[in-house]
Structures are given as structure tokens and as C-alpha cells.
Amino acid sequence: MAALSLLRRRGAALALPAALGAVQAAPLLTFVPPLKPLWPRVNGAGRTDHVALTFDDGPDSASTPAFLDLLAERGVRATFFLLGTMAVRHPGLARRIVDEGHEVAVHSWDHRNHLRHLPGPATREQLERTVDLLEAQTGVRPRFFRPPYGALTAADLVAARQLGLQTVLWTAWGRDWEEQATPESVAALVGRDLRGGATVLLHDSDCTSSPLSWHATLGAVPLVLDACERLGLAVGTVGEHGLTPPPIAA
């Protein structure tokens, strides 16, 4: 409670490392209503005329190419938050993502919940290992980070800042990982929170989701893009969303 009071007094995300140090923060801390206005960048609130389209859990040779083909057809760029283990398993896809004008970002090395299963001191190793791999595969250093499950910890924020990564969660999702998800259900859930400045969370891989759930996501993407078009909103990457990463800490 003392740490949260300090955070409220300072009113900025940069206060968290000093306030909490190596103490693990609560999962989904930035979604607590009293704190949400203090964390617009971390929550993914960006340009009011723009929507950031993001995909987690890839790259996956069984599904990611279909998303890339669809985005190419629609002339839309997106940000892919990649797992290091998947990038090793499916070499070449991270480079294709970048070559086609999209953005690669860090989703950690594996999909462990950082709050429950990753000791704080190991967090930087997870992130740095993934940054180094993606930079080696693509020639581009990632600039953004999203923790698995959105289970954000103080150690995440400290490590991300040390590596020059801006932490970005989301403001809208479609629960597309569920077995019963359909293109219509995914698009409808995204639509509830679809507005200027939104960051949309979807998944281009079912590696941590119900088998073949990515088909529902793939079917939902055109519906989401059509909705953005009706609202007069541009769709693009997190980097185009106005969420500039911090400088790499000394």
C-alpha cells in the first residue's frame, strides 16, 4: 500500500522502479481504475486518430504467414509481440515481418507468467535474450515489450527501461484464445473498446491458446479493420501510435 501511495503522489510511470525497487508488482496493476489515468502509455493509449493493431505469441509458421498475407492485402501494418522460443522454432518469420513493413516487439523469451513463475532477477535475462535474438534475426532492435498474460511486475518495468523498451499493454481485446471464439465474437468484443487511441490485442498463434483458435482471429481482423474504417481511424503499429520508447538506461 505504501508503494502504491508513493506512485499516486508522483503520478508517473517512471516513479515505479524507485518506489518498488525489486519488489514484484501486482498483475495487471495498470488496469486498476484509480491508477489507469496515470499510465496511459503503458496501457496503450495513443494518438486519438489512430488504432494500434498488435498480435501476441508468434511467430508461428502454421499461422503467422496467413496474417501477413491478409495485412498485405489490406495495406495495414501491425506490431507483433514475439516469443523468443517461437522465433527460434520458426526462423525467418521475424525477418519477414520486418521486411513487410511491420514491427517486431518483445513478448519475453517464453510464456511464463512473470508474477507467478519468474523470479525478479531473471526478468532482465528473459527480455535481453529476446531482444538480442530478434535483433540478430531482423537487423532491427525491438522497441516495445508486453509481458505474457499482461502480468506486469516492477522487475519488468525496470528491465524494460534498462533495455530501452517501452512497456505496452492494451485497451481492447477479443478473447480470441478461447475455444468458443468466432470471428464475430472476437470482433464484437474488440468493438466494445474500439476508439481513437486504442491498442488492440489479438493473437497470431495458438501456441498458448485453444488449438486452431487463430482461425477465429484471422476471420476477425477484416471485421476490426472495417470498423476502424467506419470510425475514420487509421490503423498501424505501436511505433506509429505515439508511444515512444525511453532511452536505454546507463
Which of the residues are catalytic? 56, 203
Compute the distance between CA of residue 14 and CA of residue 20 in angstroms, rounded to an integer: 11
Residue 208's contacts (CB-CB under 8 Å, 6 or more residues apart) are 57, 111, 148, 177
Q: Are strands 234-236 and 79-82 parallel, antiparallel or unpaired?
A: unpaired
Query: Computed over its alpha carbons, how large is the radius of gyration of the chain?
Result: 17
- Is the alpha carbon torsion for 158, 140, 236, 65 positive or negative? negative
Please count the helices (runs of H) and the strands (runs of E) in the chain.
11, 8
